[in-house]
Amino acid sequence: MQLEQKNVLLGISGGIAAYKTPDLVRKLIAQGANVRVVMTDSAKEFVSSLALQAVSGNKISNSLLDEDAEAAMGHIELARWADIFVIAPATANVMAKLTHGLADDLLTTLALATAAPIAIAPAMNQQMWAAPATTENIQKLQERGVLQIGPASGEQACGDIGYGRMVEPEDIVSFIADYFSDVSEADAIFAGKKIMITAGPTREALDPVRYISNHSSGKMGYALAEAARKMGAQVTLVSGPVSIKPPANVDVVSVTSAQQMHDAVMGNIQQQDIFIACAAVADFRLADVPTHKVKKKEGTLTLSFEQNPDILKTVAAQTNPPFTLGFAAETNDVEAYARNKLERKKLNMIAANDVSSSELGFNSDRNALTVITTDNKISLPAASKYSLAIELLKLLNNEYSTIQNNKKSK
Ligand code: PMT
């Protein structure tokens, strides 16, 4: 449970996306959060306060002038109670009020009265989101440290297509969990350590203009690189072709094929303390890549493939190997295949990754892992890839430290 005992104050303003807030409350509570809800008058037109009271288990606050509510938990008390104030959906109107410090209802009063961080999940028509006034408001709010969750792009209730949709409840929950799970100076458990991480897919040429590849986006490997860096490591990220931005203060080596990834890893592996193989590396490549574009012909086309080097296995087979963490992306018999890879490749640890669902694993923002060593197995439930990376690195550090201590005591 990523939000155990966190007090989340949820502010709901009047947009169609408010209908998703009972689900948001349920998902926050499922992660261990205590949730209290404050609604504007117009929010009540889109979602029932009774439904929110039922799912949150608390009376809903709406008015500054409600004697009962003030007697139960006054607005200043509520503002102090919050560990985070999340406004979802945040309409253009509410954002404008926050920008200018207006306090003409309970929600905006709480925004001024709380010392807790404020996160907004904007939701509005795409033209309203693009309006210069909204752009200026969001810039000012960001400058003041207000956290922004979305908006997402897509089809809107009014039929328009574009940015302005509230992000889905699970993504709001992941954002809040990431905020609380982020590492601090105290978590610099890898200070002085060098960690190399492979990430993303590889591409194997079929001719000068075509290739075979897979759906890896690089998100899991990049999240590991960012978390490892924040935990004090000097990180080298050997990355296949991806379209995401690399994390700050990480050395990035960009490669295309498995052979190039192998060469980049092996060229620098001697200096590494830890090697994490998160990349989805092509096992085979075309035996002879034509120098010219292959022309269309009648009938079938037969291609002959040869094996690529197994980078992870080669690293683990060295005389003095670094600590090795492999991944095993599988669609069936996930744990059995992962254990087989752990033993066959002689790894210290493997993260079994069930990729049978499109919601997790390849190319999604979330993932779930089962972390296996020779004597241990720990499940890391579905979470954002960044939160998961932090948890995985903590487990890795425990195992790594045990091995180092055993070596010292011999
Ligand atoms: O990039 P994302 O979209 O965020 O998706 C993340 C992910 C699903 C790609 C990632 O979490 C993951 O599971 N990566 C491993 C993918 C994989 O193809 O594993 P594998 O079972 O084929 O290989 C086993 C291990 O050997 C992996 O650590 C792999 O990096 C390594 N390997 C494989 C083949 C090879 N030639 N060299 C290798 O180093």
CA of 51 to the centre of ligand 1 (A): 44
pLDDT at position 241: 98
Residues 225 and 350 in one domain: yes
Of 158, 161, 378, 403, which one is the catalytic site residue?
A: 158
> Is the model's pLDDT at 38 over the cut of 90?
yes
User: In the listed set 180, 199, 231, which residue is the last one of a domain according to the structure?
Assistant: 180
SS3 per residue for the chain = CCCCCCEEEEEECCCHHHHHHHHHHHHHHHCCCEEEEEECCHHHHCCCHHHHHHHHCCCCECCCCCHHHHHHCCHHHHHHHCCEEEEEEECHHHHHHHHHCCCCCHHHHHHHHCCCCEEEEECCCHHHHHCHHHHHHHHHHHHCCCEECCCEEEECCCCCEEEEECCCHHHHHHHHHHHHHCCCHHHCCCCCCEEEEEECECCEEEECCEEECCCCCCHHHHHHHHHHHHCCCEEEEEECCCCCCCCCCCEEEECCCHHHHHHHHHCCHHHCCEEEECCECCCEEECCCCCCCCCCCCCCCCCCEEECCCHHHHHHCCCCCCEEEEEEEECCCHHHHHHHHHHHCCCCEEEEEECCCCCCCCCCCEEEEEEECCCCEEEEEEEEHHHHHHHHHHHHHHHHHHHHHHHHHC
Residue 185 — very low, low, confident or very high, per pLDDT cuts 50/70/90? low
pLDDT at position 178: 85
Residue 215 CA: which ligand 1 atom is closest?
A: 3
Confirm whether 96 is domain-assigned.
Answer: yes
User: In the listed set 180, 212, 228, which residue is the last one of a domain according to the structure?
Assistant: 180
Residues 130 and 219 in one domain: no
Count of domains forming the chain: 2
Domain assignment of residue 59, given as a range: 7-180
Residues 204 and 129 in one domain: no
User: In the listed set 180, 198, 224, which residue is the last one of a domain according to the structure?
Assistant: 180
Q: Average the pLDDT over 94-115 and give the result.
A: 96
Tens of pLDDT, residue by residue over 234-279, are: 999 999 999 998 988 899 999 999 999 999 999 999 999 999 999 9
Pocket, ligand 1, Cβ cutoff 6 A = 198, 200, 216-221, 258, 277-281, 283, 308, 310-312, 326-329, 341, 353, 355, 361-363
Confirm whether 397 is domain-assigned.
Answer: yes
CA of 97 to the centre of ligand 1 (A): 48
Residue 198 CA: which ligand 1 atom is closest?
A: 30
Tens of pLDDT, residue by residue over 327-372, are: 999 999 999 999 999 999 999 999 999 988 888 889 888 899 999 9
